[in-house]
Structure 1
Amino acid sequence: MKKARIVLFTLAVCLLTAVCAWASADGAEGPNWKNFILRSINFALVVGVVWWVAGKKIASTFGGRRLSIENQLADLEERKAAAQKRLADVEHSIANLEAERAQILGDYKAQGEALKASIVKAAEEQAERIKSQALLSAEQESKAAADALRVEMADKIIEAAQGLLAKKLTAEVQDKLVDDALGKVVLN
């Protein structure tokens, strides 16, 4: 039914166009209706044959094109929705950018303070170790100096005692001391 309307409408437009063209002609005689009708029939037959031979292909081409356009429009709508969503996400992230920046700065400051505290603690511990090592080293050096002083004093006392004994000790007293020492050794 719809096809018949389209065909009738097309024929009516063709007839009206032809009548207007003949009406504007300079000839005094009227239109040659026989020639016009034959040409219209010829035209209708050519269109009918073309439609019969390639009508389905033409219709499927235009139908396929229509489906392709519909698919492209649907795809564009989907892409538009996705782009709007991404735009909303970007706007949201831009809105939160200042808060994120403040949070990142706060995190870095906290990390810096923690690092500073650990460095100060390590330096204090190292200073304590150095102090304790210095005290220990000073004690050891003072002991070594005291021991060296004792050894030196003992050596001087021994030298002084030897000098006194050498002055007061005679050969007879020396022989008597040797004999007493040997007697004690033999008896024990």
Structure 2
Amino acid sequence: MKRHHRIATVVLVVLVLGVAALAYAQGDAEHGAEAAHGLNWKDFMFRVVNFLLVFGVIAKLAGKKIVGFFRGRTQQIENQLTDLDVRKADAARRLAEIEASISNLAEEKAKIEQEYRRQGEALRDSIIAAAEAKAEQIRGQATATAEAEARVAVEKIRAELAESVVASAKTMLQKKLSAKDQEKLVDEYLTKVVFN
């Protein structure tokens, strides 16, 4: 506090001397010929005393308010700087959260893609297995149908062959057997059928 008081005193003295020198220079320009005779010390001292009185009155009446204003302004600037530091830290934290969220989104996307790929492969495998089972069923049905048709065809061929053999045998027998032989064969057959 004392250091600030000393600095203020030095600034005040420099200011007073600067204003006095300015007033002296202004007086030289206005009085032209009078100034050539030398410094009017009486006028200079009057101006310095006048300035000190005005400055003293201002310092006495408004000094505390001026000092309070500058202290308040300093405190306000410090508060703003502190607030800016807090905002900066908050922004950095939010940026880190957003970056983490973005990296989590990339990981989540990769997981979802992997899960869809796995489900797609499982669906593909189940479709292939169902198609293979259906193809096997169709092959089995086709084989069974082909075998049944082959049996029917074989039976038909056998029946035709049997009819053909019977017809051929009948024709041969009719040529070789006489009517008397035929009657005898029919009687023997009927005898066998009746007794059995």
TM-score by length of structure 2 reads 0.48
TM-score by length of structure 1 reads 0.49
Query: Higher relative contact order by CA 8 Å / sep ≥ 6: 1 or 2?
Result: 2
